[in-house]
Structure 1
Amino acid sequence: MKFRAVGLAVVLLSSAAAAQAQQAQADPQMQAVLDAMKALDAKPLHTLSVMDARTQSSAADAARTVQRDKKISPLPEAKIATKDIAIPNAAGALPARVYIPEGKGPFPVVLYFHGGGWVVADINTYDATPRALALGAKAIVVSADYHHAPESKFPAQHDDAWAAYTWTVENIHTLNGDASRIAVAGESAGANLAANVALMAKEKKTMMPVHQLLVYPIAGNDMNTPSYQENANASPLGKADMEWFVANVFKSKDQTSDPRINLVGRGDLNGLPGATVVTAQIDPLRSEGQAYADKMKAAGVAVNLINVDGVTHEFFGMAKVVDKAKTAVDAANADLLKAFAKSK
């Protein structure tokens, strides 16, 4: 009887582990975007060459398709004025787009870095989030690009992000921005860059950002976390896709232990500006994003952790067609407005 009880316990534990590793269902609005991606013939990134991955339809394309099919107006975000600029940099000028809200200014500022694993996508792909932040936070948003891998390996992207920050601090007044109120923001690989800008500003004892908006950040190098296990085959980002990014970005996998990548392994998080951390349930990066939020909290940083069920990686820029994205964007804007008001 004792042996059978132990055997039963093992079966129960195995069943629990299997249930824990099961991928959640996307909510109907999120599923509509995933279906649109399939209809656009978007393939998993890890099955493609870098060039094909850069030119195929993106999750943003799928969201725009759903928006068009449902005849959802692009207003009021479409009214945000934009200006394309180049940020000088030793490694070559960085393309950037400045989003300018209506009003007199000088405006607070958000320096934003797009996602794409440091390999794919650009400031055109990630247009929806900067527009939504400019509108909702009543801020100038500088969406700064950076050199992509594999042409430019790590840490080129982090060097570019710091160059973009120092340029913004020194020059944003020429664009009617308030240099004393600059927040950093980003999605995925871009959220990692935003977090590193805050860490570098602290290390260099220079002007700190007033807030961090980190949307499903790359914050660790452990691909065996609970969310990696649950979402190994998720779309638009799965475990094999992250492995593909690592192979393209780093000279060797060992480099992922660098503290700029493995943020959750750092012990110097005290004194950072407050943060809004947004994670998605159906995303391999969920666990590390939440772990980084917890580590910042433990170090005394004010953190608002927002986990959104039923949505995937890339959901944040889909506020026009996914209600849960709109709710998350509104919460992020509310935090930015508070941070800007405190910094006046």
Structure 2
Amino acid sequence: MAINKAMRLALKALSYSDIDVRKSRMLAGIKALDPLKIFYHTLDTKVYNRDHEVPLRVYLPETDCEIEDPFPVLLFIHGGGWVTESVETYNKVCADLARHTSHMVISIDYSLAPEYPFPIGLEDCYEAAKAVYGNHLLLKVNPKRITLIGDSAGGNLAAALSLMARDRGEFLPQRQILIYPCTNNDHSETSPYPSVRENGTDYLLTAKKLQQYLALYRSSDEDLSNPYFAPLIAKDLSRQPRTLIITAQYDPLRDEGEAYGEKLRQFGNEVEIRRIRNALHGYFALGIQSRHVRQSYQLINHFLKGV
């Protein structure tokens, strides 16, 4: 169903506040009050990035399964503009992922900006991935059956993590799923991507908010030219994982996500690019009752079974 006139007016009315980190975190925290959380089959563990702890939460697809079962893994990185959200607020998303893909999901609770600006959160994700790929978590994991997955800012971190893994040579992801990822460094009127202007004012996530998120995330203006900050600007995208990119029609990030997929193809990588019609940025958190989420799971499961 297309977005009707009444819905457009409502969305427009909700799309003009600036980013207030404290309030955003308080609102996100409401999602952690999930009455179904007690039914999720989870295990909490951690890794270390130098001097600080990086919590991880493991979700199993069935409540009666054994931890030793050799499940394939989705290594999940949450969204939230690098400044909000957490493992706790993404409990339902990750539990649903485990249930509807029959994968073990490992969710990374990386450090948030602005207290921990780029590249600290990315380095947290790297250390977590290195531990998972190296089988250092006492979990029975086949590195060839691990898929990186992230939404929005988490999609950015997953893409950057794949580049970093290739460059450092300690492990090499085989698959990645990027859900409406942020890949570029410019969401102003000078952006070359029409979706920034077409969808950047009236669909909840605005171009202005994107600029504010990037400003909170970066530690200096030099970060804007770093491919780990904005993977789309990377000069070399060779030796990247088999990739599924899912974008949303009414999302300012739509075109840059799809452009990243096209650029990956230019460097010889295997890529699928799928756009969810009539969807907004952030729709994946709505749960399986959403038609757009069900469509996404069809794409994700087809991709996962294609290996």
Q: Determine if the TM-score, normalized by the shorter chain, exceeds 0.5.
A: yes
Map of 1:43-122 to 2, 5 A cutoff?
A: 46-56=17-27, 80-102=40-62, 103=65, 105-122=69-86
Contact 2:176 2:243 (C-alpha < 8 Å) held by counterparts: yes
Structure 2 unaligned regions, length at least 5: none
Of all paired residues, the percent bearing the same amino acid is 31
**2:264 aligns with one of 291, 296, 305:** 296
Which of the residues 306, 329, 336 maps onto 2:274? 306
Question: Which runs of structure 2 are paired with 1:141-290 in the superposition (5 Å)?
Answer: 141-171=105-135, 174-223=138-187, 224=191, 225-290=193-258
CA distance 1:100–1:146, shift in 2 (3 Å): same
Partners of 1:165 and 1:27 lie apart in 2 by: 42
Q: Under a length normalisation based on structure 1, what TM-score does the superposition of the two structures give?
A: 0.77
State the SS of the aligned residue for 1:327. helix
Deviations 1:46-95 (A, max 9, x none): 5243111211258969xx9xxx9xxxxx7xx9965111222222141112
Which structure would you say has the larger Rg? Answer: 1
What amino acid is the match of 2:273? L
For residues 245 and 55 of structure 1, the distance between their equivalents in structure 2, rounded to whole angstroms, comes to 17
- Write the letter of the residue equivalent to 2:57: R
Contact preservation (8 Å) 1:27, 1:311: no
Residue 279 of structure 1: how far off its partner (Å): 0.5
Is the 2:114–2:216 contact (alpha carbons within 8 Å) kept by the matching residues of 1? yes
Q: Aligned to 2:145, what secondary structure does the other structure show?
A: strand
Residues 305-343 of structure 1 deviation map (CA, whole Å, 9 limit, x = unaligned): 11011111111222333202211122112212333xxxx
Q: Distance in 2 between matches of 1:46 and 1:121?
A: 18
Question: What corresponds to 2:3 in structure 1?
Answer: 26
Q: In the alignment, is the contact (CA less than 8 A) between 1:109 and 1:141 conserved in 2? A: yes
CA separation of 1:271 and 1:78: change in aligned 2, threshold 3 A: farther
In structure 2, the CA distance between the partners of 1:48 and 1:289, relative to structure 1 (3 Å rule), is closer
More helix by share: 1
Is the 2:94–2:107 Cα contact (8 Å) retained in structure 1? yes
2:223, 2:136 → 1: CA distance?
Answer: 34
**Distance in 2 between residues matched to 1:58 and 1:236, nearest whole Å:** 19
Query: Residue by residue, what CA displacement relative to the aligned partner does 1:180-236 show, whole Å, maximum 9, x if unpaired?
Result: 421111011111111122112211223311210001111111222201101121333
Aligned-residue offset at 1:45: 8.2
Task: Measure, in 1, the Cα distance between the counterparts of 2:110 and 2:222.
Answer: 23
Q: How many residues align?
A: 297
Q: For 1:176, give the aligned amino acid.
A: K
Distance of aligned partners of 1:262 and 1:47 in 2 relative to their CA distance in 1, 3 Å threshold: closer
Pairwise CA RMSD of aligned residues? 3.0
C-alpha distance in structure 1 between counterparts of 2:28 and 2:45, whole Å: 26
Distance 2:118 2:28 in 1: 26
Deviation at 1:27, TM superposition (A): 6.8
Q: Distance in 1 between matches of 2:103 and 2:54?
A: 21
* 2:161 partner SS: helix
